[in-house]
Structure 1
Amino acid sequence: MPSFRASRSARELPRVPVPTARAIVDCGVYVQGRRLPGRFTHRDACAEVRNRGEGFVWVGLHDPDDRQMGDIAETFGLHALVVEDAVKARQRPKLERYDDTLVLVMRTVSYVEHELHSVSEIVESGEIMVFCAPDFVVTVRHGEHSGLASVRKQLEADPAMLMYGPGAVLHAVADYVVDTYIEVAASVELDIDAMEEEVFTPRSQVAVESIYQLKREVVELRRAVTPLAIPLQLLGHKPDLPLPKEIRRYLRDVADHHTGVAERIADFDGSLSALISAALAKIGVQQNTDMRKISAYVAIAAVPTMGAGIYGMNFEHMPELRWTYGYPLVLSVIAVACVALFVTFRRNHWL
């Protein structure tokens, strides 16, 4: 009873708000393509840029809650509709525009190492949302595999690219996500090749469950990758979007890479469907072969069974019952008949 009261009182306590800083992975101010020294809170960074009248802020968030995302939205003036999407995640890839702020939603994927015949997760998915405005970029990441530290480091080593402003960050993140699509697709293709080799290897045991699992993971991969095509096309070809012309050119290149990997993944689905049909056909052939062998052995076993059955009826007047060589003759006839059946079935490839 005391433990019950303690747990009940604990549930009734108000939840302590978690500071927004707990969700912020990194926050930097960039002016003239270079990051300003020092550490900034998201509010200080925003004030610094707007007081200067140049540069932009890049805030990276990981799995923010309602309160944390609401604080970020209040600081940077994000529309209320996008706050809920940023917290709940699991959004379909899309591009939205709120005045001068672009919101790009992308699904992230990661390949999970596994045994070939294990029925387990192969593709892990997450999400990245990018809020891009003239003086800030906010990236919201969901999932443990889609860190953007390497993207930030690469951009900071290229001041000429950062001179293009927040659009450079938008392009870098999109390019990074599409590159991971290509890497995951290459790993999945190796799995499919290995599965095809095993299916078409003579006398191999086919695990259809593993093929179905791989097909299901490919479907999940396709759902994450394919819908991003339209947002990338819009980013690269709509001149009225608040993006520099050079960044749109870079984004068109990302869109081309995305088209290639999307077509590749679509081919995976078709290959696995054909592979399942081939595996089922092979199983059917194996079962037919087994049934023929069983039938052949049953036919051979029927001969001695018939002879033993006839001479086991205990009639008095039966041929060769009193002949000295009657028993060996019957055994010889049975043996010759069995051998003849065996040779016949072997010639017909039943055995």
Structure 2
Amino acid sequence: MTHLSTAYKAGRRVEHSGEPGAALAKITEARGGFVWVDMVAPTAEEFAQVTGELGISALSYEELTRHRPRHAIEEVDGLLLISLKAFSRTGEETTNLATVSMHMCLTERVILTVHSAADALLAGVRRRLEARTKYLSCGPFAVLQTICDEVVAGYDRLAHEIEADIIELERDVFDDGTPHPGKEIAKIKHEVLFFRRVEDPLHSVLADLARGDVDVHRGTLDRFQHTLDRLDRVDNTIDGLNELITGIMQAHLAQVAVQQNSDMRRISSWAAIIAVPTMIAGLYGMNFDFMPETKWRVGYPLVVTVMAVACWVVYRKLKKTGWL
């Protein structure tokens, strides 16, 4: 079983054997504190074993980890259940965004986190909290708030990465030497919309926590509000990026339209030039008996010369008007 059980009393670690039940027994003996159990991709049996040791066996694995397409917060049988979605990039390209789900269960003395790929995020949370013993003494809600703050900080970093990608793309769009980046524009537009779709529902979760609609530790209310304000700034950034990429898309489409118009002018110009000899050749291709110059020795070179001169005149006229 992959899990990490940590007991805290007055913001400091309490030594124990490493099992969730032993950690809970330690804080019960110490008459204060809480236990944080972090589980990585547990099986249903492993989950049942841990929740049994923590005294929350009424919570099923399916109930906690069932698929939720959005951030969610709900109370079930006296337990506070929260689902958050963090972002991760699956590659170096700008459009390889994926979400990492994290599920949490809170009681007065226990916080249980379950995930499959959020180790780095929670390691950062643990370092931040253990450096602030006074805040950590606020209990499970201090852990929850710091996790929310770390998720929002990840949103903020990713928003600035996308902004840098868009600025670089903007240069490409207005650089005549760069091929038309239509596909790249569409991909980043999709990325921005996906970002907004994932990020936006977190507002309601943080608002419930910051307003005290959920019974949280009073010492964490201000910090939940700070995290909500930070999320609002990220939201404004994403709105700005969406408008920017929309403007770039419109500029690109305008460039494409101008290029297509220029191409159509060139095609029409060459069609007009070719129409002159085609008309003359068409007339002489009728093979009537009585046609001028058909029996004349210099008739053929004369007609070819007339064709060449006529084409040159049309070409010069079109060149002067800027069509060629």
Q: Shorter-normalised TM-score: what interval?
A: 0.7 to 0.9
User: 1: distance between equivalents of 2:248 and 2:172?
Assistant: 11
Alignment match, 1:37 = 15
Q: Deviations over 1:290-325 (max 9, x none)?
A: 222112111111222233333344444332344454
TM-aligned CA distance change 1:186 to 1:304, over 3 Å: same
Q: Is contact 1:125–1:143 with CA below 8 Å preserved after alignment?
A: no
Q: Residue 6 of structure 2: SS of its match in structure 1?
A: strand
For residue 248 of structure 1, report the CA deviation from its aligned partner.
1.0
- Give the length in aligned residue pairs: 324
Q: TM-score, normalised by structure 2?
A: 0.88
Q: Residue 164 of structure 1: SS of its match in structure 2?
A: coil
Alignment match, 2:201 = 227
Alignment match, 1:339 = 312
Q: Residue 201 of structure 2: SS of its match in structure 1?
A: helix
Alignment match, 2:321 = 348
| Equivalent residue for 2:5, pick from 27, 31, 37 | 27
Q: 5+ unaligned residues in a row in structure 2: which ranges?
A: none
TM-aligned CA distance change 1:164 to 1:197, over 3 Å: same
Alignment match, 1:73 = 51
Quick check: 1:83 aligned with 2:56? no
TM-aligned CA distance change 1:239 to 1:224, over 3 Å: closer
Q: Residue 148 of structure 1: SS of its match in structure 2?
A: helix
Q: Is contact 2:8–2:14 with CA below 8 Å preserved after alignment?
A: yes
TM-aligned CA distance change 1:239 to 1:285, over 3 Å: closer
User: 2: distance between equivalents of 1:181 and 1:82?
Assistant: 30
TM-aligned CA distance change 1:327 to 1:240, over 3 Å: closer
TM-aligned CA distance change 1:318 to 1:234, over 3 Å: same
Q: Residue 40 of structure 1: SS of its match in structure 2?
A: coil
**Mapping for residues 45-60 of structure 1, pairs under 5 Å:** 45-60=23-38
User: 2: distance between equivalents of 1:91 and 1:81?
Assistant: 20
For residue 145 of structure 1, report the CA deviation from its aligned partner.
7.1
For residue 77 of structure 1, report the CA deviation from its aligned partner.
3.6
User: 2: distance between equivalents of 1:299 and 1:239?
Assistant: 75
Q: Is contact 2:208–2:214 with CA below 8 Å preserved after alignment?
A: no
**Mapping for residues 252-331 of structure 1, pairs under 5 Å:** 252-331=225-304
Q: Is contact 1:110–1:145 with CA below 8 Å preserved after alignment?
A: no
Q: Deviations over 1:315-346 (max 9, x none)?
A: 44332344454333322221221122112222
Structure 2 residue identity aligned to 1:225: E
Q: Residue 200 of structure 2: SS of its match in structure 1?
A: helix
For residue 81 of structure 1, report the CA deviation from its aligned partner.
5.8
Structure 2 residue identity aligned to 1:267: G
User: 2: distance between equivalents of 1:29 and 1:242?
Assistant: 20
For residue 228 of structure 1, report the CA deviation from its aligned partner.
0.7
Alignment match, 2:148 = 174
TM-aligned CA distance change 1:82 to 1:263, over 3 Å: farther
Q: Deviations over 1:143-166 (max 9, x none)?
A: 367641122123223323222222
Structure 2 residue identity aligned to 1:172: T
| Equivalent residue for 1:108, pick from 86, 98, 102 | 86
> Once structures 1 and 2 are overlaid, which stretch shifts more, 107-116 or 35-44?
107-116
Alignment match, 1:217 = 191
User: 2: distance between equivalents of 1:317 and 1:307?
Assistant: 16
TM-aligned CA distance change 1:220 to 1:237, over 3 Å: same
For residue 42 of structure 1, report the CA deviation from its aligned partner.
1.1
Q: Residue 290 of structure 2: SS of its match in structure 1?
A: coil
Q: Is contact 2:9–2:30 with CA below 8 Å preserved after alignment?
A: no
Q: Deviations over 1:158-179 (max 9, x none)?
A: 3232222222211211111000
For residue 91 of structure 1, report the CA deviation from its aligned partner.
4.5
User: 1: distance between equivalents of 2:14 and 2:40?
Assistant: 23
Q: Is contact 2:68–2:83 with CA below 8 Å preserved after alignment?
A: no
CA-based RMSD of the aligned residues comes to 2.7
For residue 107 of structure 1, report the CA deviation from its aligned partner.
0.8
Alignment match, 2:110 = 136
Alignment match, 1:186 = 160
Q: 5+ unaligned residues in a row in structure 1: which ranges?
A: 1-21
User: 1: distance between equivalents of 2:182 and 2:232?
Assistant: 30
Q: Is contact 1:64–1:87 with CA below 8 Å preserved after alignment?
A: no
Q: Is contact 1:126–1:146 with CA below 8 Å preserved after alignment?
A: no
User: 1: distance between equivalents of 2:90 and 2:8?
Assistant: 36
Instruction: Tell me the percent identity.
Output: 32
TM-aligned CA distance change 1:197 to 1:113, over 3 Å: farther
